[in-house]
């Protein structure tokens, strides 16, 4: 039922406005990301990987229409096998968004890239959702996740933020005429109201910190060695006829043996 509502909403002028905005944002975000395997989760109406040059593209959907059909929280993929994961509105319509993020973290390689697209609840779109009476109609039936909360979730999994942007600053009018009148807000929004866009795109990198072996710091033993300098000073004192004090730590020098004359053999 929800999929049919979403498909019908995407055919409206407001849905087409969102699709075009998000397609442009994704085209720019993934164009220069490289690797071997890329995955898109949710929203098959978008081709979030069309400008990406990774050789193997996979699209996942709970219904027919994707490369594979499976539940997003149980991906049929090997661990650490993906270099790029694109998630347009997957978290907002997932029953367990935390479990979905943990599953994505499992299948991503170290230094892999994650791109998340979502509706911004701190915008005019969030106000529209707040005053919508019928919450079973898409997209207002989704659970809008704020950007700050999403950053906290990703940080707990070891992801590092790597940029993002906002879009769809125009009010969510259902009329194409009124949407066209407020198109000027797209240019003014980035400059005067940067965090007030109706949708956001966030990029993150999976960081895996390597272990470092800490060796014990051995304390050097204090070895007492005889002081040759003291011995030299002692010898100099004896040549001057002065006896060293008893408490001086000196090493006495042995007397040189006398030469013994040897008589020639008869």
Token pair of 166, please?
């906002």
Residue whose C-alpha is closest to residue 70's, from 78, 61, 80:
61
pLDDT confidence tier of residue 1, bands split at 50, 70 and 90: very low
Q: What pLDDT, on the 0 to 100 scale, is given for residue 206?
A: 96
Average pLDDT estimate for 214-219: 67
Q: Helix H segments across 131-242?
A: 147-156, 176-181, 184-192, 228-239
Q: What are phi and psi of 12, to 5 degrees?
A: -80, 165
Pairwise CA distance, residues 124 & 116, whole Å: 20
Contact between 31 and 77 under an 8 Å Cβ cutoff? The reply is no
Please tell me the distance from the alpha carbon of residue 114 to that of residue 85, in angstroms, as a whole number. 5
pTM of the model: 0.75
- Average the pLDDT over 54-71 and give the result: 84
Q: CA angle at residue 85 from 47 to 168, to 5 degrees?
A: 55
Structural domains in the chain?
Answer: 2-206 (3.40.50.150)
CA distances to 40, 56, 137, 168, 259 from 43, in Å: 8, 19, 16, 18, 108
Mean per-residue pLDDT, 21-45: 93
What are the angstrom distances between the C-alpha of 117 and each of 26, 87, 145, 255?
A: 9, 6, 10, 93
Query: 76, 70 in Cβ contact below 8 A?
Result: yes
pLDDT in tens, 162-171: 999 999 998 8
Q: Residue 119 pairs with which residues in a beta bridge?
A: 199
Average pLDDT over residues 100-123: 95
Through-space distance between the first and last CA atoms of the chain, rounded to whole angstroms: 133
């Amino acid at each position: 039922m929800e999929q049919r509502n979403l498909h019908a909403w995407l055919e409206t002028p407001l849905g087409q406005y969102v699709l075009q905005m998000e397609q442009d944002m994704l085209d720019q975000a993934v164009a220069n990301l490289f690797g071997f395997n890329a995955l898109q989760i949710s929203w098959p109406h978008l081709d979030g990987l069309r400008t990406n040059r990774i050789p193997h593209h996979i699209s996942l959907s709970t219904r027919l229409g994707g490369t594979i059909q499976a539940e997003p929280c149980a991906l049929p993929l090997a661990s650490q096998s993906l270099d790029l994961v694109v998630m347009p509105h997957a978290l907002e319509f997932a029953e367990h968004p935390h479990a979905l993020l943990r599953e994505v973290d499992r299948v991503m390689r170290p230094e892999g890239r994650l791109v998340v697209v979502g509706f911004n609840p701190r915008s005019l779109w969030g106000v529209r959702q707040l005053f919508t009476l019928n919450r079973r109609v898409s997209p207002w039936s989704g659970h809008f996740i704020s950007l700050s909360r999403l950053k906290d979730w990703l940080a707990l999994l070891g992801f590092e933020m790597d940029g993002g942007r906002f879009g769809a600053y125009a009010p969510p009018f259902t009329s194409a005429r009124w949407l066209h009148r407020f198109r000027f807000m797209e240019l003014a929004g980035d400059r005067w109201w940067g965090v007030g866009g109706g949708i956001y795109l966030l990029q993150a990198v999976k960081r895996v910190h390597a272990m470092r072996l800490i060796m014990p710091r051995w304390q050097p033993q204090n070895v007492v060695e005889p002081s040759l300098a003291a011995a030299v000073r002692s010898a100099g004192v004896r040549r001057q006829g002065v006896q060293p004090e008893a408490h001086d730590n000196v090493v006495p020098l042995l007397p040189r043996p006398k030469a013994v004359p040897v008589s020639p053999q008869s």
